[in-house]
Chain A
Amino acid sequence: MTLVPLLLQTKPLLPNSAPEIAWVALFYLVVCAGIAVWAVRRTRDTRDYFLAGRGVGLWALAIAAMASALSGFGFIGGPGLVYAIGLGAVFIVLPASITGSMTAWVLAKRMRLLGEVRGLLTIPDALGARYRSPGLQGLAACAILIAIVGYAATNFLALGFIVDAVFHTGLANGIWIGAGLILAYTAPGGMLAGVYTDVFQGSVKAIASAAVFITALQSGGGMRRIAETISSNDPGWFEPWGNRPAVAALSLFFVFGLGALGQPHVLHKFYMLKDARRLKWYPLLMTGAMLLALLLYVGVGFAVKAAVARGDLAALGRPDDATPTFLLRFASPLLAGIVFSGVTAAIMSTVNSFLNVGAAAVTHDLPIALGRTVTRELLIGRLVTVALTLAGVLLALKSGVLIALLGIFGWGLFASTLVPALALGLCWPGATRLGAIASVSVGLVVTLLGETLVWSKRLLLPAGVTASGLALLLSLLTFLAVSWLTRADAASDLDPDIRLIMER
């Protein structure tokens, strides 16, 4: 089986009938536009464009990392999944209390120092530097690019649904408007605009989520009442694994826990931190912000399930209706407007980071892999951002099987291609270039092949085994085994300055 399609918002939302929601959403977009204009005027070179000028503070870094890590799924698909399968769905976000600290220990300081010493711009850059391999840098850039185009397309589609639901524009117009809004600040302002809009968007997410959580608890008469109501109506729902086998829930924890170490749109923000000493409190701020923003994920799923069990709500036609239904039934129009803005924020901040990472892969990493030099990198970067947006929009407009198939590659590809080679490779001097190339290749092939076979129903996986999980597992095994077999090359695959950074 594959659980990744559940991460995608590919169905229309319930339409909004309250004008307040549209006004709040409009206000949100105006603030975003203001921040973008401010940032665009400060974007002068590729360092500004791809790395926000390496001048980002700790709060901005932590909130922007949270904002780009948490897509619209956390607000729409996630609560729907909780409603549908119970506590098992929480295992997607359960590792959030661990991943911030784990990522900091494994990657934060090393990435920041790598950026400092080598002037790196991208995640594939780090792989190229670590293993002295432009070829590996190109391979990783290809994997990232495949993942990003599909992922961005699904997010454009989701944004189209939201714009349509709030402003009644029709889906196609909603996609174009949503993509246009993101492009308006991403293409000219790059990551400088992206980070500071992310800070605003992340704050909106966290505030909206906390407010909805309180409303959700109140609507159900407190957590104990909610739990009793659900348990008497559907005893399996509040089992620790929900209505699924234990291995299925645990498998999610494995993929989303370890996979967090391979998300380029989050990790490359470490390059941007102005003062490396501030990393000390990164896990506290990032994890705190993330947990706050995830309250809605759990709260709405619980509250809607309890409301349906009590008979206050009719059973949902589709799980994805959980959040819109809850907002229209239990929240004030103002809060509903803030949450819809939060969903929009979640999508925009994720897509913005994707586009930036994708543009860097095309303008920076692939030319290095091919031994070419790109002049006027800033201009080309902007043009590639436009091209990637157009590719994503066209895929989103096509909708259907193609987009969902491309979308499901995203998360799994990041995890299986980057976790072993990047996360483990940057702290294990014994890792080798061949191990990294083999691991990225296995991750790429197994994810693409596995997800395609599962999607086309030519491969039936049992509950608990996912194509993404298999790809991550095989990629890790390959990395460890090939590095061990070629361990004689380890020392020559590692520049002395990189070794020094690994030991700091």
Chain B
Amino acid sequence: MNRDRRSGLICLTTGVILVGVAYAATWAAAAPQLAAWAMVIGIALQIAGITVVGGTRSNRPNHLVLIAALFLGTVIVVGFGAALLLPPESASAGPYLLGLPRRAAIVLLGVGILPFLVLPFLYAADFDTDGLDEASLARFREECRVLRESGTEGGAR
């Protein structure tokens, strides 16, 4: 299997397990801080992992997808991690960031807006339009038809 895809799957699986750990810790009413961190890291690994698995094509490394996944994981861990670690703000003294209490700003703007300013452009840069015009798609349809007919004789479908 492609190395990037395997790494993505490992990240995803680890992330799923960590979210399970977070749920178990919450259910047992034990270590809420541990549960929160397990959830943060678990979510980051899942989302980064599935992006890598989804963005990997054929057997070549895809640096833009890896950058996107790294960016996503970092935004989630840093954004939610800062919210967990930074001290609470005071209503009068703040600190405020763009009109919001600092931790709220990090979550709302850092996790809620920042990815929008980066990810769509990484996706566009990564998107390969070659082979997607009408003529190429017609050839691709034919190629797939031949493959299917040669590979599925006696298959379930």
Contacts and interface: CB of A to CB of B under 8 A. Distances in A.
Residue among B29, B42, B106, B141 having the largest count of chain A Cβ atoms under 10 Å = B141
A442 interface: no
B157 A495 contact: yes
Contact of A500 (B43, B103, B122, B144): B144
A239 interface: yes
A461 B23 CA distance: 10
Contacts of B53: 106, 424, 427-428
A105 B107 contact: no
B5 A428 contact: yes
Contacts of A231: 89-91, 101
A129 to B, nearest CB: 7
For the residues of A in contact with B, the DSSP-based class is helix
Interface stretch (A63-71, A328-336, A383-391, A462-470): A462-470
Contact of B148 (A104, A280, A497): A497
Interface in B50-65: 50-51, 53-58, 65
Interface in A227-258: 227-228, 231-232, 235, 238-241, 245-247, 250-251, 253-254, 257-258
Contacts of A291: 113, 116
A247 B39 contact: yes
A102 B51 contact: yes
B16 interface: yes
Contacts of B39: 246-247, 250-251, 254
B157 A462 contact: no
A57 interface: no
Contacts of B152: 132, 495-496
For the residues of B in contact with A, the DSSP-based class is helix
A284 interface: yes
A427 B107 contact: no
Nearest to B146: A497
A101 interface: yes
B123 A257 contact: no
Residue among A96, A464, A465 having the largest count of chain B Cβ atoms under 10 Å = A464
Contacts of A228: 91-92
Contacts of A106: 50-51, 53-55
B54 A477 contact: no
A105 B54 contact: yes
A98 interface: yes
Contacts of A250: 22, 36, 39-40, 43, 80
Contact of B116 (A222, A287, A470): A287
Contacts of A470: 23
A473 B36 contact: no
Given A102-B47, A117-B141, A480-B16, A239 B54 contact: no
Nearest to B103: A240
B68 interface: yes
A452 interface: no
A504 B137 CA distance: 12
Contact of B83 (A97, A241, A430): A241
B50 A254 contact: no
Interface in B12-48: 12-13, 16-17, 19-20, 22-23, 26-27, 29, 32, 35-36, 39-40, 42-43, 46-47
B50 A102 contact: yes
Contacts of B83: 240-241, 246
B100 A223 contact: yes
Contacts of A90: 107-108, 112
Interface string B78-111: 0010011000111110001011110110111001
Interface string A491-504: 00001110011011
A134 interface: yes
A141 to B, nearest CB: 15
A461 B26 CA distance: 9
A133 interface: yes
16 contacts: A90-B108, A97-B114, A101-B120, A105-B55, A106-B50, A116-B140, A117-B144, A134-B157, A240-B103, A245-B32, A261-B50, A276-B137, A298-B108, A469-B23, A480-B16, A495-B157
Given A106-B55, A231-B89, A427-B5, 15 more contacts: A134-B156, A134-B157, A223-B98, A227-B100, A235-B88, A238-B101, A239-B104, A240-B80, A250-B39, A254-B19, A276-B132, A284-B121, A463-B26, A473-B19, A495-B147
Interface of B: 1, 5, 9, 12-13, 16-17, 19-20, 22-23, 26-27, 29, 32, 35-36, 39-40, 42-43, 46-47, 50-51, 53-58, 65, 68, 72, 80, 83-84, 88-92, 96, 98-101, 103-104, 106-108, 111-116, 119-124, 126-127, 129, 131-133, 137, 140-141, 143-145, 147-148, 150-152, 155-157
Closest 5 CB pairs of A and B: A106-B54, A223-B99, A497-B144, A284-B120, A240-B83
